[in-house]
Amino acid sequence: MKHRFSFLLRPFSATMDIISLDICFALAYRLKFGTTASLFDAPYISLFWFINAAWFLILLLNKPYNFSRLTFTIQNLLVGLAKLIGLHIAMVSVFWVFTKGGFDYSREQLALTYVLFLCAGSLWRSVVLILLKVYRAMGYNTRRFVVVGYGPLSRSIQTFYQMYPEIGFKFYGYFDKMNAENATALRGDYSYLKEFITRNEIDCVYCCLPYIETEQLRDIMNFSEEASYQVKLIVDFKGFLTKGVTVEYHDVQPVISLSTHYLDDLQVNVFKRAFDIAFSASVLAAGAPFFLIIALITKFSSKGPAFYSQERIGKWGKPFRIYKFRSMYPDAERGGPALSSGDNDDRITPWGQFMRKTRLDEFPQFYNVLKGDMSVVGPRPERQYFINQIVEKSPEYKYLLMVKPGITSIGQIKFGYAENVEQMVQRLWYDLEYLQNVSLSTDVWLIVQTVRVMVQGRGK
C-alpha cells in the first residue's frame, strides 16, 4: 500500500486531543469542586460543549497536524500545541464575556484545565513521536526514494538519510547516464527510471540540477502526476549551505542570502562553548582514576611514553597540539606522515588496537577542549600534509575549517579512521552535514552515538 497508513496520523491526533481535553476538563472540575456529579448540569454543560466545538473549529481552520517527516520533531509538536491552546483560550474568553451575565465559571477550574491539557498533550505527542521514530528506524513505515543525477551532491542526500534512519527514508538507487566511471554505482539509466519507479512504488525522486538536463527534469515532473510521487530539486549550493543560508522576501520575490550567520549565532558561540567546558571538566574530573589506569597500561604494555602529541590544524587553519594516549610504537612515522591501515597496521600496539576500537585513546583531548583548541563535537582535525591532498580532490574541505575540530563527529561515527586520502574525502561528506545542523541537540545525539560505539567496540 503506497501511503502505509500515515494518513491515519491526523485523525488519530485530533481524536487524542479531544479526548485529552475532555478528560482534563473533568479532572480539573473534580479537583476544584471535589465531585463531577454536576459537571453536565448548567452552566458547565454549555462550557463543556463550547470547548469541544471551539477545538474542532481551530483544527478545521489551522490544520495543525500537517507535518512532514523532516519537521515532525518534538519542538515543532510542542510549539504547535502551545499555539492551539493559545487560540482556544482566546475563543473561550470571548465565550465567557458573552455569557458572563447569566453564568459564572471558575477561573481556577479553567486555568487548571489548560495546565493539565498542556501536560497531557505534550506527553502523548512525545510518546507517539518516540515510538514512531523507533518504528521507522527499525525499517518500517518507510518512504522510498531514488536520486537522479550522480555525483558528490547527490551522495549527500543518501548520507543524510543514513545518518537519521528515524526519519524513515529508504534509498533505492541512483539514476544517470551510464559511463565507465559511474556504471557500478548506478541502479540504471534514464530509460529504466519510469519502469523502476512504477514497479517499486517510489515515493520521492530527488533531482540534482548540476547533473540533470532540463528536458529530463520536465519529463520526471510530468510523470509524477501519473505515478504519484514527489519531485524534489537539489541545487548546487553545497559550499554555500555549509556557511548558512537564509531566505529574505523582497515584496513577493524570495531572495537567498548566503552568509556565515551560524558563526555569529549565540547558541554556537556561547551555549556550545559553555557545554564544551562543563562536559569536558566533568569527564576529566570523574574519569581521572580511570585515565590514570589507562596511562599506566599504555606505559608498561610497550616501550614509549603514555601520551602522544602531534600538530593538527584547527579553526581558520590555526595549528595546535593534539593529545592522545599513545596507541603506536615509538617512531612509527620515521618514514614520513602516514595514515593507519587499520587492524593490519603493525605499527599499532595490541593495547593500542583495543583503545582505538573503544576510542579510549581520544580521552586526553578533553584537555584540548578546555584550552579552546577543540570542541567535544566537530569535524576531526587533520595534519596540513593531508589537508593539502584532500583539498586537491575536494575543495569543500576548507569549510570544515570554519568551526572548531572535535573529539567525535558524524564522520568518526559513521565512517571511522581513514586509511588513505580517498577515505578522508568520503568521510568529509559526513562531516559537512554537521555544519548544516550545528546545535546542542545534535551534539548530544552524537555523543550518545559515540558512547554506543565505545561500548560495542566498533571503532575503526
Write down all domains in the chain, each with its CATH number in brackets.
6-137 (no CATH), 143-236 (3.40.50.720), 266-456 (no CATH)
- Separation of alpha carbons 416 and 338, rounded Å: 16
Condensed to tens digits (0 to 9), the pLDDT of residues 388-436 reads 998 888 887 888 888 899 999 888 888 777 778 888 888 888 888 787 7
**CB-based burial of residue 25 (10 Å sphere; 0-12 exposed, 13-18 middle, 19+ buried)?**
buried
| Mean residue pLDDT across the chain | 84
- Separation of alpha carbons 186 and 189, rounded Å: 7
Is the pLDDT score of 362 beyond 70?
yes
Which grid cell sits at 267?
A: 547558541
Average pLDDT over residues 45-69: 86
Which grid cell sits at 95?
A: 465565550
Predicted local distance difference test score (pLDDT) of residue 327: 92
Contact call for residues 396 and 436 (beta carbons, < 8 A): no
The residue with greater pLDDT, 418 or 201, is 201
Cis ω before 43 (30° cut-off from 0): yes
Q: What percent of the chain has pLDDT over 70?
A: 88
Condensed to tens digits (0 to 9), the pLDDT of residues 293-317 reads 999 999 999 999 999 999 999 998 8
Predicted local distance difference test score (pLDDT) of residue 1: 43
Alpha helices in 8-149 (DSSP H): 9-33, 44-62, 74-99, 107-137
- Separation of alpha carbons 453 and 460, rounded Å: 10
* Cβ atoms within 10 Å, residue 290: 12
Residue 359, CB-side half-sphere exposure with 13 Å CA sphere:
22
Q: Cell numbers 573503544 correspond to what residue?
A: 358
Predicted local distance difference test score (pLDDT) of residue 241: 46
Is the pLDDT score of 94 beyond 90?
no
DSSP structure class, residue 419:
S
User: Among 38-47, 224-233, 239-248, 424-433, whose mean pLDDT is lowest?
Assistant: 239-248
Is the pLDDT score of 2 beyond 70?
no
375: which residues sit within 8 A by CB, 6+ positions away? 272, 273, 276, 369, 403, 404, 405, 406, 407
Average pLDDT over residues 21-32: 93
Split at pLDDT 50, 70, 90, the class of 342 is low
Which grid cell sits at 426?
A: 568520503
Task: Say whether pTM exceeds 0.75.
Answer: no
Question: CA-based angle 344:347:350, to the nearest 5?
Answer: 75
Split at pLDDT 50, 70, 90, the class of 336 is low
Predicted local distance difference test score (pLDDT) of residue 89: 92
295: which residues sit within 8 A by CB, 6+ positions away? 306, 307, 325
Which grid cell sits at 410?
A: 558524524
Predicted local distance difference test score (pLDDT) of residue 4: 57
Q: Is 404 left (phi over 0), alpha (psi -120 to 50) or beta?
A: beta
Cα-trace Rg, the chain: 28
- Separation of alpha carbons 189 and 209, rounded Å: 16
Q: What percent of the chain has pLDDT over 90?
A: 36
Predicted local distance difference test score (pLDDT) of residue 166: 86
Average pLDDT over residues 251-275: 62
Predicted local distance difference test score (pLDDT) of residue 142: 87
The residue with greater pLDDT, 75 or 183, is 75
Is the pLDDT score of 239 beyond 70?
no
DSSP string of 299-327, one letter each residue: HHHSSS-SEEEEEEE-GGG-EEEEEEE--
Nearest to 420 by CA among 386, 378, 385: 386
**CB-based burial of residue 324 (10 Å sphere; 0-12 exposed, 13-18 middle, 19+ buried)?**
buried
Is the pLDDT score of 242 beyond 50?
no
The residue with greater pLDDT, 147 or 412, is 147
Predicted local distance difference test score (pLDDT) of residue 452: 85
